Amino acid sequence: MPKGGEVSVEQVSKSYGANKVLDGVTLTFPSGSVTAILGQSGSGKSTLLRSVNHLERVDEGFIAIDGELIGYRREGDTLYELKEKDILTRRADVGMVFQSFNLFPHLTVLENITAAPVAVRGLPKREAERLARDLLARVGLGDKADAYPRQLSGGQQQRVAIARTLALKPKVLLFDEPTSALDPELVGEVLAVIRELARSGVTLIIVTHEMGFAREVADTVVFMDRGRVIEAGPPAQIFANPRHPRTAEFLGRAL
Ligand code: ADP
Ligand code: MG
């Protein structure tokens, strides 16, 4: 795995019409850190992740990975939006895993994983396949290379989706509620893979409702409420002594 990237989010705001979804968010995710983002539905968690991946444009502020602006280049004091092709190249540094696994149904597991490295990174097919098989072994699915997504359980599909994301060798990995669509008995196998990634040096940002997991794996927990970061700190402190009443209220309901 390449060394994790440092993500800096600086005074980012974004509105949908009159609805201010991100409101002056400033956060730094150090290289190799593991951050869990918590907060109730509608607080802006997904929008923040999507902005880091430049799937959303922000209205104010900026986001950079290792000092490189996401989606823009700077000339003097002016920002210019990058061309689609350059956006795609930079986006490959940031992997994203969604709640719905989004595998291609008509491709095998192996083909799902090799498609992007061949297309985006220009990897020779043989090499992409070797990498894909290594990654499948790593997520515990070494025997599923030729299966189609519909032949796999939700937990297995999500592990394929993680392997597919890793195949682009991202410096930053974003997980948006990766276990929320899974039956309870399948949650553990996906969390185990993420737990292993947390030790690999890649920078992880995970939106989750799995409080126990956040507490165990994250080095920082961030609470969002109505588009703002209301609290951030080490899990031991936040879970034991939340400073903000809305954090306390959220934890009281969730735990
Ligand atoms: P969370 O992930 O914390 O549940 P989201 O970032 O998905 O929150 O959404 C934050 C707010 O932005 C919600 O009020 C949601 O309805 C709104 N929103 C999200 N995406 C869009 C969109 N594409 N168009 C309009 N409103 C949106
Ligand atoms: Mg969301």
Nearest Cα residue to atom 25 of ligand 1: 16
Mean pLDDT of 217-231: 96
Task: Give this prediction's pTM.
Answer: 0.94
Q: Give the model's pLDDT for residue 1.
A: 61
Backbone angles phi and psi of 213, in degrees to 5: -65, -45
To the nearest whole number, what is the mean pLDDT of the chain?
93
| H-run or E-run covering 126 | helix 125-138
Q: Is the dihedral of CA 153, 158, 163, 168 positive or negative?
A: positive
- Could you tell which of 9, 12, 16 is best to mutate to test the pocket of ligand 1, judged by most ligand atoms within 8 Å of the CB? 16
Structure tokens at 13: 């705001």
User: Is residue 71 scored above 90 in pLDDT?
Assistant: no
pLDDT for 89: 78
Residue with the smallest CA separation from ligand 1 atom 13 is 42
Ligand nearest to the CA of residue 177, numbered in listed order = 2
* 124 — pLDDT class (breaks 50, 70, 90): very high
Ligand 1 centroid to residue 44 C-alpha, Å? 6
Quote the tokens at residue 63: 């986001």
Residue 2's pLDDT is: 66
Nearest one of 246, 204, 225 to 49, comparing CA atoms: 204
Quick one: average pLDDT of 164-192? 94
Q: Over pLDDT 70: what percentage of the chain?
A: 99
- Band (pLDDT 50/70/90 cuts) for residue 70 is confident
Q: How far is the CA of 198 from the centre of ligand 2 (A)?
A: 21
User: Is the beta carbon of 39 within 6 A of some atom in ligand 1?
Assistant: yes
Q: Which atom of ligand 1 is nearest to the CA of 41?
A: 4
